Amino acid sequence: MDSKERLQNIIDSIRPVDKEAIEQCKKRWDKVAKPLGGLGEFEDYISRIAAINSDQAVNITHSNINKNEVDITKKAVAVFASDNGVVKRGVSQCDSSVTANIVRSLIAGTSSVCVMAKAAKADVFVTDVGVAEDIEGVSMEKMIRSTDDICEGPAMTEETTIAAILTGVDKVKELKEKGYRLIATGEAGIGNTTTTAAMAAVLLGKNAGELTGRGAGLDDEGYRKKIEAIELAIRVNKPDNDDPTDIIRCVGGTDIAAMTGVFLGAAAYRIPVIMDGAICAVAALCACRSNPLVREFIIPSHMSGEPVMKYICKELDIHPVIDAGLHLGEGTGAVLMMSLLDTAVAVLNEAAVFEEINVEQYRQFRQ
């Protein structure tokens, strides 16, 4: 079986989250001594996570959902790093050498996401899928040393694109086999807000000006160059609007390709995945375009400051609960969401319940 066929088989293998299992968890929520629906969207997220984690891929049972066993203590953050050839167009505040420095801080455990993950009791896994430099200590799945300049032609070949997507899929499989029950996505790569906006423009059928932000803080001249580069890249490459893999190949990056694989892998291997900001969101959109059932496995985290984010969230019909102007990247918003989910699970597992109390006498309080 070649890589293209393997990828299609993974996409085709995805099936829905068991709705009855979700309802079982919601019934548990309704027994907790609190107003009905008191934790809002967190009750829905935890119910979905519980259903996914109870699903053993062949025979779905609801036994653990009926007990206090919703467990997301073992958490992982999968960060993918790569460089982007379009950076030479002046679309970023700094050059590609900064990507390698970010990866070194990730490996050292001193980056923001590593510090936050430690507080959230999550493990960080960093994979190089296209950094120009070689960095000691990083998981090496490097297909290329930076993508090509998307203003001159495709970012990469179809072969490289599919290999990067499958790297993300395989990372999910590896983490699932190690016992992780919740995964977050993250990325590192100078220039990837440009590739994100370019991909979103094609996926959503909108112009670059609507979707493009200033990234890490571009001045007016840099912002103009960024929009012009995106518009030129789309004209030069003419990606197929109906083919997510072709869109990644033409105007994306290996980091986005790998994260697309994480979302596909999460759905195929039945594990909930937290979506970080705009760059992760465009990968999630690609995965959902490949198979709409992927959406059921995605837990949104925060509303990125990048303009493209609100359009992708509307397209996916998802609502990130954190809206704090975050623009740190690396998966940091997703890690914040992990802490919030831990808190919500604690309420479900440990709070007092109305198990042996006449619920009717508390109806006014609970509603």
Residues 111, 259 share a domain: yes
Tell me the pLDDT tens digit for each residue of 111-137. 999 999 999 999 999 999 999 999 999
User: Which tokens go with 281?
Assistant: 């969101």
**237 and 361 in one domain?**
no
Structurally, how many domains does the chain consist of?
2
Q: Is pLDDT larger for residue 217 or for residue 70? A: 70
Domain boundaries, position 267: 75-343
In percent, the amount of the chain with pLDDT more than 90 equals: 85
Residues with Cβ < 8 Å from 263, sequence gap 6 or more? 168, 185, 273, 275, 283, 284, 286, 287, 288, 294, 297, 298
pLDDT score for 68:
52
Global pTM reads 0.94
Contacts of 356 (CB under 8 A, 6+ apart): none
85 has pLDDT over 90: yes
Query: Which residue is associated with the tokens 């984690």?
Result: 53
Please enumerate in sequence order all residues whose Cβ is within 8 A of that of 152, keeping only pairs 6 or more positions apart, or say none: 236
Listing DSSP states for 138-201 in one string gives SEE--SSSS---TTTS-SS-HHHHHHHHHHHHHHHHHHHHTT--EEEEEEE-TTHHHHHHHHHH
Determine the Cα–Cα distance for residues 124 and 183; give it in Å rounded to an integer. Answer: 10
What pLDDT is stored for residue 60 in this prediction? 41
Sign of CA pseudo-dihedral 243, 246, 248, 254? positive
Same-domain pairing of 51 and 138: no
68 and 133: one domain?
no
pLDDT in tens, 323-350: 999 988 899 999 999 999 999 999 999 9
Cα 38 vs. chain centroid, distance in angstroms? 27
Positions marked catalytic? 330
β-strand pairing of 139-140 with 122-130: parallel
Residue 182 dihedral angles phi and psi, to the nearest 5°: -155, 130
Give the whole-angstrom CA distance, residue 164 versus residue 147.
12
**pLDDT at site 88:** 95
Q: Rounded to whole angstroms, how far apart are CA atoms 215 and 305?
A: 9
In this structure, the answer to whether residues 147 and 85 fall within a common structural domain is yes
- Confidence band of 58 (pLDDT split at 50, 70, 90): very low
What pLDDT is recorded for position 65? 55
CATH number at residue 259: 3.40.50.10210
Residues 194, 110 share a domain: yes
Residue 356 in this model has a pLDDT that exceeds 60: no
* Farthest-apart Cα atoms in the chain, separation: 70
Q: Tell me, yes or no, whether 358 and 334 share the same domain.
A: no
Q: Could you tell me the CATH number of the domain that includes residue 34?
A: 1.10.1610
Does 111 share its domain with 26? no
Residues 252 and 273 in one domain: yes
pLDDT in tens, 204-221: 999 999 999 988 778 999
340: CB partners within 8 A, 6+ apart: 42, 321, 322
Q: What is the mean pLDDT of residues 83-104?
A: 94
Same domain for 117 and 147, yes or no, is yes
Residues 10 and 101 occupy one common structural domain: no
Across all residues in the chain, what is the average pLDDT?
93
Tell me what pLDDT residue 57 has: 41
The phi, psi pair for 363, rounded to 5°, reads -55, -45
214 in the same domain as 227: yes
**How many angstroms separate the Cα of 179 from the Cα of each of 53, 71, 183?**
11, 11, 11
User: What is the pLDDT at residue 352?
Assistant: 87
